[in-house]
Structure 1
Amino acid sequence: MNDSKEVDIESNSLSASNVGSPNPRLGLSEVFIDPIVQKRVISKFDKFMMPQMALLMVIAYLDRSNIGNAKTFGFEKGLGLTGNQFGNISTLFYPTYVVFEIPWVMAVKRFGANTILAVAMVGWSVTTLGTGFVKNYHQAIAMRLLLGAFEGALFPSLAFVISNVYSREQQAKRIAVLYGASALSGAFGGLIAYAIQLMGTRSGLSAWRWLFIIEGCISIVIGFLILLTLPRNSTKAWFLNAEERALMSARIQRDATTKGEDKFSWKYVRMAILDPVVWIASIALFCATTPLFGFGTFLPTIIVGLGYNSLQANYLSIPVYIFACLVLCFIAWISDKLKKRALVVMMVPIPVLIGYAIVIGSDNHGAGLFAMFLVAAGVYPFNTLIVTWVSNNLQNEHVRSVGIPLLVSIANMSGLASSQIYPSKDKPRYIMGNSVSFGMEAVALISSGLMYLVIRRRNAKRAEMIVNGELSETDFKYIL
């Protein structure tokens, strides 16, 4: 992921230590960045930080969605669940997940990504391990509430760190790494579940219990390791030398010059909370995340509903997730290459809509499985690009530290719905769940179009103000 040809378009060819003439309008000095050093720095973050972020996402989504695999081989029977109790257990992951997202991101900004994410990961890993020993419905609910509280730290914190390290034109591929890792976790989850299901009962514990125990133990070890290996922040990464740290500090100074002061002010919180783009994007992401979460949690269940047995469902989910990851990487690369968000965002929901239309309208097994590939090709890219698009259009890290988790937390409230739309009584075809997912994706598409109109209007107003001498060309420009 080395951007050999990508140079921040706001950079110039002087060194980070050089300071140009004062900007007469702002009364501040312009900061210039050496593109050669910058390219080396970006390469280091790609090499040392992004793989760790991908691993964290894989582990988190394994620990979150393994309940879907466990369901196919005995979780409900083992706990004596009745009615929609399984759906309730799935749902109650999200209230604490949403509530804790903004506090976790603010803690990352204050104390560093490595410390906070290590604490969060060990917490959710111990919770996953504990789920392997629950005895009843209420204990399972308690574990899911704790899991949500700890996992709320992960995605918005990683997206926040990415927004502070990479330029706006470089972020889609890196956000795609996070969503791609969540897709790959589905493939790994299916593979692990398949192997553990074959293992059967051991030491008096059912196979579904071993699924939580084994994954929890692995996660605990990784949680302790990232305290040492994950960078604290963009300027204090252990793999940067003094010159490279100075460059990252200079970038922050440059952004303070063109996008607002570096010192925290409550006005930045208000900017994030009152920004209509954040709220429109939140509606889009909320709607798109409903099918995404439903897909991630219930894909094995949906495949069983297509006429396959539980063992087949676990291994048939693997190629679906791999395909999703490949398509996601391609679409993110296209978006960064074209330096366009809106055009690509409004195209990717189309295969999702086609896929759900097929699975709603046909009971053919082959057609249904093909439809799952279409859905996978769209749900991950759409969410990736919406998060990137919003991050690109928030002016500095203070605004992003509130705007990104606010966006993600609102979107994640959809988990309350997505975990309820595939009740067991709707088997085998789960028409209601697939229909709701179809409708929500359609609303997401419409909302993304509204985002485009609002941002285009902002840029038109900016251009008018430049002509009138009220702004300069260096002032913040919104990305379409």
Structure 2
Amino acid sequence: MKSNTHVTGDVVPPSEVKDVEIEHLDAVEAVINKRLIRKIDFRIIPVLILLFAFSLIDRNIIATARVAGMGKDLDLVGNRYSVALLSLFPLYILIELPTNFILRRISVKAFFFGMVLCWGVVALCHAFVQTYPQLVAVRVLLGLFEGSFQPVCIYIVSSWYTRYETQRRLAIWFALGQLIAAFSGILSYGLSTLNGTGGLEGWRWIYIVPGLITTVLAFPLWFLISEFPEKAKWLKPEELAQLRASLSEDRAEILEEQMNMARALKALKDWKVWLLASLLFFLTSAAYTMSFFTPTILSSLGYSVAMSQILVTPPYIAACLANITTGIAADKLHMRSPFIIGHGILTMVGFGMIGWGPNTGAKMTGIYFSIIGSQCAIPAVYTFLANNVVGTTKRQIAVPLQTVWGGIGGIAGSVYFRQQDYPLYRPGLYASFTSLSLCLILTTFLAIYFWRENRKAERDGKILEGVQHFRYTL
């Protein structure tokens, strides 16, 4: 008896059909996840970039105001300029520690509105100081109101993205903010030409315009700033569920984990948190040196006041491009420490060229290397900590602790380049070399330790950070 079945081609085994279906579902899920991440990017990142830019402008335009006449009018002789710089940081540091605890207990919108409005008003007040003590007083208040900003931004970004989505976002936030702020040199030059307008000196206009912009910017923040993921009403329920699943799978975290004393003390007893946080001190001391003293260094090379202000901008344009490129590369490679080390070495080479370069061209190249290296290393250090800290409580402790170290680095950077060391600034260069060397040593130590712990987890099944399948990021 003949069979009526007629086979016209190869029969696909059920297992292969199932594999194809799984691959198709994975591809669909990847597309959906990409759309969700893009939606989050457009809602979270641009407003943080704009605010970061104005925080830098309001904090650092003292450098261009000084060469535009403020130094002479307020008699900033001897170490007065350095004292005015570092006066920003004591309250800046103190306010960072409780910031993220406060943020979890009040509306993010209200927090940002109050913070930006206050620092904008204080930034504007710089234009009306008449004496050196008044300048120090408004710098202290600026530190009080700006101190919360960076830890909040880092915490928000690390709350919305998985570990290997974070550095490129922080790099874009940091680089574009720095790039926009870098144009303050050109803006300052333009505003300084208003000297005599309204009976005010040109350096006062350098403070008035950015201060007014920051103050006005506070009001639309109520509509632009997003709450944390669990309270974000602009996400659909299915999108929120997908985000929560991604974050939980990445770090095995519970978004609503409540802070308590036991968890806080456990986080503070973790020596890795302290070492990861301290890396920012060694880098920011070098980065702040360039932010505060680049116009002065350019002036020492023989450039006019106007040209010194204008030449501040191009190195930050180069640093922006390098920062975004290396941030994307670091996320794709799932690596942080090689980028910190590489950029740290570039910064050291730059400082060497500034101090010992044979001509102006070499010293200008050193300025580029120092700014590019230090600016690119900082987002990598932020992410190195964020990737290796598990749990919302520990991150609420670790991120402010890291930015406190960054603030202390700002104090150090404020006094590295002293007036009496003009024009070579050798003691400041030696101090910068020491800070950067310690950064490289600690980064190498942590990378080796993390590598060895990951090997134990793979070989012996050791559970890291109390989370199954967690691996440290090198």
TM-score by length of 2: 0.89
Assess if the C-alpha contact under 8 Å between 2:58 and 2:207 holds in 1: yes
Distance 1:211 1:176 in 2: 28
- Structure 1 segment 299-448 matched on structure 2, within 5 A: 299-362=294-357, 364-448=359-443
Contact kept? 1:260, 1:395, Cα under 8 Å: no
In structure 1, the residue matched to 2:157 is 162
Q: Tell me, in whole angstroms, the C-alpha distance in 2 between the residues paired with 1:218 and 1:405.
A: 27
Amino acid at match of 2:37: I
Q: Which moved more, 1:158-167 or 1:250-259?
A: 250-259
Counterpart of 2:14 in structure 1 is none
Change (3 A) 1:231 1:319: same
Of 241, 244, 259 in structure 2, the residue corresponding to residue 246 of structure 1 is 241
Describe the shift of the 1:256–1:184 C-alpha distance in structure 2 as closer, same or farther (beyond 3 A): closer
The one-letter code matched in structure 1 to 2:55 is A
Letter of the aligned partner of 1:138 in structure 2? P
1:193 pairs, out of 185, 188, 192, with 188
**Equivalence for 1:6:** none
Q: Does residue 468 of structure 2 align to residue 477 of structure 1?
A: no
Query: Are the counterparts in 1 of residues 277 and 385 from structure 2 also a CA contact under 8 Å?
Result: no
How many Å separate the matches in 1 of 2:351 and 2:387? 31
- Partner Cα separation in structure 2 for residue 253 and residue 391 of structure 1: 15
1:41 equivalent in structure 2: 36
Residue of 290, 293, 313 corresponding to 1:295: 290
User: How far apart, in 1, do the equivalents of 2:396 and 2:466 lie?
Assistant: 26
Relative to structure 1, the CA distance from residue 313 to residue 186 in structure 2 (aligned partners, 3 Å threshold; closer, same or farther) is farther
Are the structure 2 counterparts of residues 238 and 66 from structure 1 closer, same or farther at C-alpha, using a change threshold of 3 Å? farther
Q: What is the 5 A alignment of 1:225-304?
A: 225-251=220-246, 262-304=257-299
| Letter of the structure 2 residue corresponding to residue 51 of structure 1 | P
Does the 8 Å CA contact 2:185/2:313 hold for their aligned counterparts?
yes
Partner Cα distance (1:452, 1:399) in 2: 20
CA distance in 2, matches of 1:422, 1:140: 20
Structure 2 CA distance for partners of 1:472 and 1:422, relative to 1, 3 Å: closer
- Give the superposition deviation at 1:43: 0.7
RMSD over aligned CA atoms reads: 2.5
Moved more, 458-467 or 171-180: 458-467
Tell me which amino acid in the other structure corresponds to 1:373. Answer: Y
Paired residue for 2:91, among 82, 96, 100? Answer: 96
Counterpart Cα distance in 1 of 2:248 and 2:338: 32
Whether contact under 8 Å (1:105, 1:405) holds in the other structure is yes
| Distance in 2 between residues matched to 1:475 and 1:94, nearest whole Å | 40
1:218 to partner: Cα distance: 0.2
C-alpha contact 1:98 1:412 (8 A) present in aligned 2: yes
* CA distances 1:296-350 after superposition (whole Å, capped 9, x unpaired): 1111111111221111111111111101111111111110111111222221112
Query: Take 2:80 and 2:266, find their aligned partners in 1: how far apart are those partners?
Result: 41
Aligned residue number for residue 175 of structure 1: 170
Give the distance between the partners of 1:219 and 1:470, measured in 2 at CA. 44
Structure 1 residues 472, 91: CA separation in 2 closer, same or farther (over 3 Å shift)? closer
Unmatched 5+ stretches in structure 2: 1-21
Whole-Å Cα distance in 1 between the matches of residues 108 and 265 of structure 2? 24
1:120: which partner in 2? 115
- Please report how far the alpha carbon of residue 434 of structure 1 lies from its aligned counterpart in structure 2 after TM superposition: 2.5
Q: What SS is found at the alignment partner of 2:199? A: coil
* Overall identity of the aligned pairs, in %: 27
Alpha-carbon offset, residue 231 of structure 1: 0.3
Contact kept in structure 2, 1:352 and 1:374, CA below 8 Å: yes
Q: Partner amino acid for 1:189?
A: S
1:204-249 CA distance string (max 9 Å, x none): 1111111111111000111111121110112333532232233334
**In structure 2, distance between residues paired with 1:332 and 1:418:** 25
Distance 2:284 2:255 in 1: 32
Alignment-mate amino acid for residue 61 of structure 2? N
Amino acid across the alignment from 1:343: P
Q: What is the CA–CA distance in structure 1 between the aligned matches of 2:248 and 2:351, rounded to whole Å?
A: 48
Bigger mean CA offset, 159-168 vs 233-242: 233-242
Give the 3 Å change call, closer, same or farther, for CA 141–40 of structure 1 in structure 2.
Answer: same
Instruction: Give the Å deviation of 1:87.
Output: 0.8
TM-score of the superposed pair, with normalisation by structure 1: 0.88
Q: Residue 288 of structure 1 aligns to a residue in which SS?
A: helix
Counterpart of 2:12?
Answer: none
The whole-number CA distance in structure 1 between the counterparts of 2:277 and 2:111 is 25
1:61, distance to aligned residue in structure 2 (A): 0.2
Q: Secondary structure at the match of 1:203?
A: helix
- Superposed displacement of residue 473, structure 1: 8.4
User: SS of the residue aligned with 1:73?
Assistant: helix
CA distance in 1, matches of 2:140, 2:270: 30
| Counterpart residue number, 1:21 | none
Query: Structure 1, unaligned stretches of length 5 or more?
Result: 1-11, 16-32
SS at match of 1:111: coil
Deviations 1:440-463 (A, max 9, x none): 112211111111122223323433
Q: Aligned to 2:229, what secondary structure does the other structure show? A: coil
Higher helix share: 2
Q: Indicate conservation of the 8 Å contact 2:277/2:398, yes or no.
A: no
CA-CA distance at 1:14 after TM superposition: 12
| Aligned partner (choices 57, 66, 70) of residue 62 of structure 1 | 57
